[in-house]
Amino acid sequence: MANTLSAWDRYKKYLCVCPSVGMTVDSSRMNFGEDYLGKMTPALEKAFGAMDRLEAGAIANPDEKRMVGHYWLRDAERAPTAELRAAITGTVEKIKRFVGEVHAGKRAGQGGKFTNVLVVGIGGSALGPQFVADALTTAGDKMRVFFFDNTDPDGMDRELARISLADGLSKTLVVVISKSGGTKETRNGMLAAAAAYKVAGLSFAKHAVAVTGEGSELDKVAVSEGWLERFPMWDWVGGRTSVTSAVGLLPAALQGLDIDALLAGAREMDGVTRVHDAKKNPAAMLALMWYHAGCGKGLKDMVVLPYKDRLLLFSRYLQQLVMESLGKEKDLAGNVVLQGIAVYGNKGSTDQHAYVQQLREGINNFFVTFIEVLKDRAVGDAGNSAAMIVEPDVTSGDYLHGFFQGTRSALAEKGRESLTITVDELNAKTIGGLIALFERAVGLYAELVGINAYHQPGVEAGKKAAGVVIALQLKVLKHLRSGKSGTAEEIATAIGAAGEVETVHLTLRHLAANPEHKVAASGTDVVGCVYRAG
Ligand code: PA5
Residue 303 in domain:
yes
Q: What is the CATH number of the domain that holds 302?
A: 3.40.50.10490
Of 55, 185, 268, 324, which one is the catalytic site residue? 324
Count of domains observed in the chain = 3
Do 389 and 508 have their domain in common? no
Q: Domain range holding 504?
A: 458-533
Cβ–ligand 1 contact at 78 (below 6 Å)? no
Say what the alpha-carbon torsion angle 277, 416, 422, 242 is, to the nearest 10 degrees. 70
pLDDT, one tens digit per residue, over 17-42 is 999 999 999 999 999 999 999 999 99
Task: Please tell me whether residues 215 and 241 are part of one structural domain.
Answer: yes
Structure confidence at residue 459 (pLDDT): 85
Q: Within this chain, do residues 251 and 338 fall inside the same structural domain, yes or no? A: no
**Domain final residue, candidates 401, 435, 453:** 453
**Is 122's C-beta closer than 6 angstroms to any atom of ligand 1?**
yes
pLDDT at 384 > cutoff 80: no
**Mutation test of ligand 1: which of 459, 460, 463, 464 has the most ligand atoms closer than 8 Å to its C-beta?**
459
Q: Is 436 found in the same domain as 340? A: yes
Give the integer Cα–Cα distance in Å for 241 and 435. Answer: 9
Phi then psi dihedrals of residue 256, to 5 deg: 100, 15
The answer on 465 and 447 residing in a single domain is: no
On the question of pLDDT at 234 being above 80, the answer is yes
| Residue where one domain finishes, among candidates 257, 276, 311 | 257
- Between the CA of 104 and the centroid of ligand 1 the distance, in Å, is 32
126 shares a domain with 199: yes
Mean pLDDT of the chain: 96
What does the pLDDT average to over 508-521?
96
Residue 186 alpha carbon, nearest atom of ligand 1: 15
Q: pLDDT tens digit string along 112-168?
A: 999 999 999 999 999 999 999 999 999 999 999 999 999 999 999 999 999 999 999
Q: How close is the Cα of 213 to the center of ligand 1, in Å?
A: 12
Q: Which of 125, 245, 250, 317 to mutate to test the pocket of ligand 1 (most atoms within 8 A of CB)?
A: 125
Interacting residues of 72 by C-beta distance below 8 A, sequence separation 6+:
55, 78, 79, 84, 85, 88
Given 240, 257, 274, the domain boundary residue is 257
Q: What pLDDT is stored for residue 444 in this prediction? A: 98
Active site residue 463: yes
The CATH number covering residue 488 comes to: 1.10.10.10
The pLDDT value recorded for residue 462 is 82
Does 474 map to a domain? yes
- What per-residue string of b and e applies to 307-338 under the rule 16 or more CB within 10 Å gives b? bbebbbbbbbbbbbbbbbbbbbebbeeeeebe
What's the rounded Cα separation, in Å, for the pair 532 and 534? 6
For the question of residue 353 being annotated catalytic, the response is yes
Residues 209 and 74 in one domain: yes
